[in-house]
Amino acid sequence: METLGFLIDGFGVALAPHNLMFALLGAFLGTLIGALPGLGPANGVAILIPLAFTLGLRPETAMIMLTAVYAGAMYGGRISSILLNIPGDEPAMMTCLDGYPMAQKGKAAEALAISAVASFMGSLIATVGLILLAPILADFALTFGPAEYFALFMLAFATLGGITGKNPMKTVVAAAIGLMIATVGIDNTGVQRYTFGVLELYEGVDFIIAIVGLFAISELLFFIEERAGGGKAKMVVNKLKLSWKDIRDIMPTSIRGGVLGFIAGVLPGAGASLGSFISYTLEKRVLGSKGSFGEGDPRGVAAPEAGNNGASSGALVPMLTLGVPGSGTTAVLLALLISLNITPGPLMFTQNADIVWGVIAALLIGNFLLLVLNIPLVGIFVKLLSVPPMYLLPIVTMVAFVGIYSISNTTFDLYFMVAFGMAGFVLRKLEIPLVPIILGLLLGPEMEKNLRHALDISDGDWTVLWDSGLAIGLWVFAGLGLILPYILGPLLRRRMQVAASTGGPEGD
Amino acid sequence: MSMRAPLKLFAAATLTLTSSMAMAFEPQGKVECLAPADPGGGWDFTCRSVGKVMEDLDLVPRSVQTINMAGAGGGVAYAHTVSKRAGDEQLLVAASTATTTRLAQGQFQGMDADMVNWVGALGADYGVIAVSKDSEYQDLPSLMNALKDDPRSVKFAGGSAKGGWDHLKVLIAAQASGVENLPRIPYLSYNNGGEAMTQVVGGHVDAFTGDISEAQGFMESGDLRVLAVLSEERLPGEFSDIPTAREQGIDAIGPNWRGFYMPADVSDDAKQYWIDAMDTIYESEEWQNVMTQNGLMPFHMSADQFENFVKSQIRSIEDLSKDIGLIQ
């Protein structure tokens, strides 16, 4: 098989000692960057591009190192989610939901280890998918027009109800807040909405600022409040106890998450956040009340991690086959390719086979490196928890400030972040979940844009939205996602109550 | 992610002034290049690639640090340069036709082209209008004739915002071929040229408007048929097969130049130094290589000539935008 030959050549490139060394360096730096709140993979790769140039690296070595940084950052994002309840980057947001409760129960080490294994699985599945299916998937991505994208985003919102909390109304309120914030900025037709003549608002609200503000700053405010009122219990730090059974338990979840994430990654513009989100909500739907999602279920940690790592490899499909960046990070990688004298586009697989397959092989190897790197590091990361919050949180806050400032170099963003922090504090007091806010903010603009495009193309005819088989399929899934819980939920609950005599009614 | 304050070498500057009047400006320490967008875009590329060439040619003593300052399509960086960096002689800001477009349409509120120093341009990316390989349109006039019959018959996709440069290129060509009711022509704005192109290749949108460098990949694979390039003459090398709009009887030119401005209130010596630097860079072999690699076409201006060009481009975009009702 031709592909296999290319892949073996690719391994030849990736396993060259100096390439391997740079892959390891990249994986390590990436994990670090991913773990720091505010510094996401896109910024990490951008920061390290000059390093690649300064070292005078060859194109394939540079690409291999930066792909490793990319993969590493996706691994790293989970660390602060689990330990601090602050997502290291936006796709890691969903990991907070069960990761942090696990840590609170004294299972931080397990959460980190499980998420590393799930990340590995997600990435592995997606990389294999990339190798086998890249050309077919490129055609699949082309069939997504505005109507199909709109239906896809509707699917995401339809499954939102199941994500957090006891009160579905509060989830809806939160999503609505996110969508409202998403309208700020210059819209698709060039009209300014809620910009108040402030230049910084023209391009809308950067979701990194919102995430770091809502999560990190509000966490600090909570801490201050608790100190004033007597302080909170110190978290128990444990030794890693992970059996094969634990790993086996999360395997089906990881595989499902990896596949879903991969599909989300393949579609340009959908991205890793959507991948981790859909993986989590669907996993919760699949397992229903069999799991203790939201209270520290290991599968709730595995699903989003497999999802976001699957998506990050999936995002390489449109980048390598179509020359279209599916995410911010792949946009940076694409820019690097261009500056290395490689024309991105459909011919890259044939014209630059050595680089493309070198990168794919590096992704596989990097993935193994990351797993090997991450399991022993669990112990070190967990030690972070034994640092008293009164020292730890100010440091995290400082890192957050530095990270946010480095994105756009304006102090406006810092004020904005603090404002989000205060809003986050109030919202958490009201028990309004933060995750749907970010999702509304993240998906809102894309959803609106695709709706407008669809209507522009059809000259205002709404039927275009369900004109293709693919769109109809997505609508059906969205409809099921919305309705099923209300039909199946009571049924399952009744059966559960019969099965377990102690099982109390649980709100959904 | 370094954030050291800009080095203000007052001491060194005064010393130079008193010791010898003839001593020309030379940059000291770190030079900053401000890219008014996130990493990965055209401005970011301009800063990083020019910065590297400047380092290679020893035009700067140490390194050129690229700083990304996204927001308002370059407006945040423009405001920053005008209000906070006046007199900073070691700051270059990447600019392109997108900058002049926004200045022309008054999108940088309360600011105009006179508030900065225009240093020079180092190449251009020419506009193209393209369709998918299955499209019924074989040349630009047939596409424009369809628009003449019904302005909504052809939908365009591009990477800039509505009213932005990619949109304007369509309107420039349509105006030149006598299409009426320009505001009725549908334009769909995407996050970048690549996304817009996949929608055209996938058959969801009729035509693509963008730059030649963006279209190169899909053009080579045969998925995209470039109907016209909006340049004065045919482009060199591998692009020489593409007809210009002009030779098809449509007098439309759309260069997206890449260049720099710097803050106001800098000394004449400093300004001259950077103008000379632009000339040196443009002539260097290193830069010519970068240009070929990235599909940049010959286009060079510096000093007054560049400033005049920028201002006349702003005027013509302003007129066009008024004609089509984008601005009053």
Cβ neighbours of residue B241 closer than 8 Å, sequence gap 6 or more? none
Mean pLDDT of chain A: 80
Q: Do B71 and A332 touch (CB under 8 A)?
A: no
Q: Please indicate if any CB of chain B lies within 8 Å of the CB of A202.
A: yes
What is the DSSP secondary-structure string of A387-431?
S-HHHHHHHHHHHHHHHHHHHH--HHHHHHHHHHHHHHHHHHHTT
Among A43, A345, A406, beta carbon nearest to B3: A406
Tokens read off for A254: 């990881």
Q: Please indicate if any CB of chain A lies within 8 Å of the CB of B205.
A: yes
Helix axes B193-201, B212-220, angle to 10 degrees: 40
CATH number at residue B169: 3.40.190.10
pLDDT of residue A496: 59
**Looking at chain A, which residue has its C-alpha nearest residue B196?**
A324
Is B303 part of a structural domain of the chain? yes
pLDDT of residue B256: 93
Judge residue A469's burial from the number of C-beta atoms within 10 Å of its C-beta, 0-12 exposed, 13-18 middle, 19 or more buried. Answer: exposed
Is B53 part of a structural domain of the chain? yes
Overall average pLDDT of the A165-189 stretch: 83
Distance separating alpha carbons of residues A175 and A181, to the nearest angstrom: 10
| E strand or H helix that includes residue A49 | helix A41-54
Characterize the bridge pairing of strands B224-229 and B116-132: antiparallel
Answer yes or no: do B131 and B115 share one domain.
Answer: no
Answer yes or no: do B319 and B292 share one domain.
Answer: yes
Distance separating alpha carbons of residues B152 and B147, to the nearest angstrom: 7
Reported as a single tens digit per residue, the pLDDT across A268-301 is: 666 677 888 888 888 887 776 667 788 888 888 9
Q: Do A322 and B108 touch (CB under 8 A)?
A: no
Domain residue ranges of chain A, discontinuous segments joined by +: 2-497
Distance separating alpha carbons of residues B140 and B167, to the nearest angstrom: 16
Q: ipTM, 2 decimals?
A: 0.78
Q: Please indicate if any CB of chain B lies within 8 Å of the CB of A56.
A: no
Answer yes or no: do B213 and B236 share one domain.
Answer: yes
Distance separating alpha carbons of residues A317 and A319, to the nearest angstrom: 5
pLDDT of residue B75: 87
Is B159 part of a structural domain of the chain? yes
Is B5 part of a structural domain of the chain? no
For B:309-328, CB contacts with A below 8 A are 326
CATH number at residue B55: 3.40.190.150
Distance separating alpha carbons of residues B102 and B78, to the nearest angstrom: 11
Among B258, B192, B214, B257, smallest CA distance to B50 is for B258
Neighbour-count burial for A207-217, b at 16+ CB within 10 Å, e otherwise? bbbbbbbbbbb
**Looking at chain B, which residue has its C-alpha nearest residue A453?**
B188
Which residue has tokens 């694409």? A334
Is B20 part of a structural domain of the chain? yes
Report the share of chain A in percent with pLDDT over 70. 85
Distance separating alpha carbons of residues A33 and A403, to the nearest angstrom: 10
Tokens read off for A116: 């590393």
Overall average pLDDT of the A385-396 stretch: 77
Report how far Cα A240 is from the mean position of its chain's Cα atoms.
Answer: 25
Answer yes or no: do B15 and B109 share one domain.
Answer: yes
Overall average pLDDT of the B124-140 stretch: 94
The answer to whether residues B253 and B231 touch, using CB atoms and an 8 Å cutoff, is: yes
Whether the pLDDT of residue A48 is over 70: the answer is: yes
* Residue ranges making up the domain that contains B242: 126-248
Q: Which residues of B touch A39 (CB under 8 A)?
A: 1
Give the model's confidence band at A503: pLDDT under 50 very low, under 70 low, under 90 confident, else very high: very low
pLDDT of residue B1: 35
What type of residue sits at position A203?
A: E
pLDDT of residue B8: 40
Distance separating alpha carbons of residues B45 and B324, to the nearest angstrom: 32
Q: Please indicate if any CB of chain A lies within 8 Å of the CB of B294.
A: yes
Q: Please indicate if any CB of chain B lies within 8 Å of the CB of A323.
A: yes
pLDDT of residue B13: 41
Reported as a single tens digit per residue, the pLDDT across A88-123 is: 777 888 888 898 888 888 888 889 889 999 999 999
Answer yes or no: do B201 and B110 share one domain.
Answer: no
The alpha-carbon gap from A117 to the nearest alpha carbon of chain B, in Å, equals: 31
**Which is more confidently placed, A230 or B159?**
B159
Among A494, A426, A453, smallest CA distance to A177 is for A426
pLDDT of residue A163: 56
Answer yes or no: do B44 and B62 share one domain.
Answer: yes
Give the model's confidence band at A267: pLDDT under 50 very low, under 70 low, under 90 confident, else very high: confident
Q: What is the DSSP letter of A464?
A: G
The alpha-carbon gap from B30 to the nearest alpha carbon of chain A, in Å, equals: 15
Answer yes or no: do B240 and B132 share one domain.
Answer: yes
End position of a domain, from candidates B201, B220, B248: B248
Report the share of chain A in percent with pLDDT over 90. 10
Answer yes or no: do B119 and B262 share one domain.
Answer: yes
Q: Do A203 and B70 touch (CB under 8 A)?
A: yes
The answer to whether residues B204 and B215 touch, using CB atoms and an 8 Å cutoff, is: no
Among A47, A53, A268, beta carbon nearest to B1: A47
Answer yes or no: do B159 and B202 share one domain.
Answer: yes
Is B216 part of a structural domain of the chain? yes
Interface test with B, best of A48, A324, A456 (most B CBs within 10 A): A324
Distance separating alpha carbons of residues A307 and A311, to the nearest angstrom: 6
Interface test with A, best of B78, B191, B192 (most A CBs within 10 A): B191
Whether the pLDDT of residue A439 is over 50: the answer is: yes
Tokens read off for B117: 């120093």
Is B89 part of a structural domain of the chain? yes
Is B328 part of a structural domain of the chain? no
pLDDT of residue A477: 81
DSSP helix/strand/coil, A122 = helix
End position of a domain, from candidates B198, B221, B248: B248
Q: Do A145 and B109 touch (CB under 8 A)?
A: no
End position of a domain, from candidates B215, B248, B281: B248
Give the model's confidence band at A508: pLDDT under 50 very low, under 70 low, under 90 confident, else very high: very low
Q: Which residues of A touch B202 (CB under 8 A)?
A: 141-145
Overall average pLDDT of the A424-436 stretch: 87
User: How many domains does chain B divide into?
Assistant: 2
Interface test with B, best of A188, A202, A451, A467 (most B CBs within 10 A): A202
Answer yes or no: do B157 and B199 share one domain.
Answer: yes
Among A95, A108, A75, A390, smallest CA distance to A215 is for A95
Helices (H), A183-242: 207-211, 218-228
pLDDT of residue B20: 39
pLDDT of residue B277: 94
Reported as a single tens digit per residue, the pLDDT across B261-320 is: 999 999 999 999 999 999 999 999 999 988 887 778 889 998 899 999 999 999 999 998
Q: Please indicate if any CB of chain A lies within 8 Å of the CB of B202.
A: yes
Strands (E), A191-282: 192-193
Answer yes or no: do B225 and B316 share one domain.
Answer: no
pLDDT of residue A54: 67
| E strand or H helix that includes residue B222 | none
Reported as a single tens digit per residue, the pLDDT across A470-483 is: 889 889 888 877 77
Whether the pLDDT of residue A15 is over 50: the answer is: yes
Answer yes or no: do B131 and B236 share one domain.
Answer: yes
Q: Do B80 and A410 touch (CB under 8 A)?
A: yes
Distance separating alpha carbons of residues A254 and A260, to the nearest angstrom: 10
User: Which range, of A69-83, A279-293, B150-164, averages the lowest pLDDT?
Assistant: A279-293
